[in-house]
Amino acid sequence: MSGVGKPLLLGAGALALFAILFTAGSALGVWPLLPPGAFLGWDLSVGLAGGLLLLASLGRRDPALRIEKPEPDARNSRF
């Protein structure tokens, strides 16, 4: 497994375990129900900010992956 694969698999497994436990707790009534408007739109604002940060990090170019154009060779030049 590659160097990225193991942490990715571990993170996905932890997220799946959390989702299963949270869903089971919600079905059993363990978590208290919040009144409507309890977050006052904070969840949307934080989600938007997180999405924009993710988009910016994915759109950032890594200089190590840049492909250099070959310099023109005098022998292959038309001039």
pLDDT tens digit string along 29-74? 998 888 888 888 888 999 999 999 989 888 877 767 667 776 666 5
Enter the pTM of the model.
Answer: 0.46
- Distance between CA atoms of 45 and 67, rounded to whole angstroms? 38
The angle at the Cα of 43, spanning 25 to 29, to the nearest 5 degrees, equals 15
